[in-house]
Amino acid sequence: MKRLLTLVWKEFAHLKRDPITVRLIFFIPIFQTLLFGYAIDFDVKQLKTVVVDESRTYESRELVAKMTASDYFRIVRYADSMEEMGRELDAAHAAVGLVIDRDFGKDLRRGAPARALLVVNGSDNVVSSQAVAVASGVARQISAGILIRRANWEDAAPPVDLRVRPWYNPDLRTATFVIPGLLALILTFTLIPFTAVAIVREQERGTLEQLQLSPVSHVGLIVGKILPFLLIGLFQLTLVTALMRFVFGIRIAGNVAGFYAAGIVFIFCVLGLGMLVSTVAKTQMQAIQLSFFFMLPFVFLSGYVFPIDGMPRFFQLLTYLVPARFFIEVIRGIVLRGANLVELWRPVALLVLYAFVIVGAAALTFRKRAA
């Protein structure tokens, strides 16, 4: 234990002589949490809209008013023709164009289908999907009101009373969904590169042979290299959790001890990956480049950005190689749904298995390299 603690202290001494790395350990989690927490918002609002109102009636003005009342559309211009509207869309002065047919009001009053055209900027899938969904909802709302009035049901309830009540995120805030999963990415982006250069740095400085001749075993050497970064990972986990709670108002609905237990296991996973890279690379530059190999898979195959169920079967199987997938499942379950580790036993078990396998592989690779 004394030898192990000496090795741990040696790693902290290396960090102390590298003030830039110390600053990155502190500021990267803060910067990324604030950046993603405030900048990412899937709930697009105030879409710039150009209106071509050929009807110019009460009914057409009602359609425009209901769309702007939804807070998703903001009228920036009334155009006189579709050509003028097209120029506005081409120049990116607007993202949505609404064309109301000349006979819109007349058709609506006599019971015929009233036509209107919604043109959306399809180059942005999020904007176009949300604009179509909101506009369709507005059209259905107007249609339902007209049908009820025609049937003389002014005092009657609608035939179908479907009420929607979101659980776990009742306000449908993007930050509530994004930030718990962001914990996995922040720990990955900071800990793998920092750990990846640990053994390579010793080799380049000529001190690796001294470590191999020390009484510490290969496993002890790996653990001694990992423990300082484990403490750094716990510090970053606590820092992001504090920002999540006091800046974005997201409470941990579940057990805090289970939250940290899952966090420690995941930190071991990413540190094991970093150490594995460190034992394979021959220079610090190679170690950093190899560490970036894990970045994009951790983002796109973890379920953080895209739902795993919507991926092709091959890529769904590939996600089992990404520990961030299991950690995000666990952390969202604990933070948002208040689930415990027993209810989340499957991703927890896979996360623990991954940690044992990857740390063992790093120790084995280092032993072969030392031999």
At 13 the pLDDT is 65
Global pTM reads 0.74
Q: Per-residue pLDDT tens for 73-112?
A: 889 999 988 889 888 887 778 888 888 889 888 888 877 7
Higher pLDDT, 49 or 310: 49
Distances (CA, A) of 308 to 102, 282, 299, 311, 327: 46, 35, 12, 5, 14
With a cut of 60, say whether residue 157 has pLDDT above it: no
Reference 135, options 192, 66, 213; nearest CA is: 66
C-alpha–C-alpha distance, residues 11 and 318, integer Å: 34
When pLDDT is averaged across residues 291-316 and rounded to a whole number, the result is 81
- Over residues 114-144, the pLDDT tens digits come to 888 888 876 666 667 777 777 777 777 777 7
Q: What's the angle, vertex CA 217, arms to CA 289 and CA 12, rounded to 5?
A: 55
Residue 285 has pLDDT above 70, yes or no: yes
Q: Could you tell me if 195 and 229 are in contact, meaning their C-beta atoms sit under 8 angstroms apart?
A: yes
Residues β-bridged to residue 77 = 50
In tens, the pLDDT along 317-334 reads 989 999 999 999 999 999
* 235: nearest Cα among 264, 269, 255, 195: 264
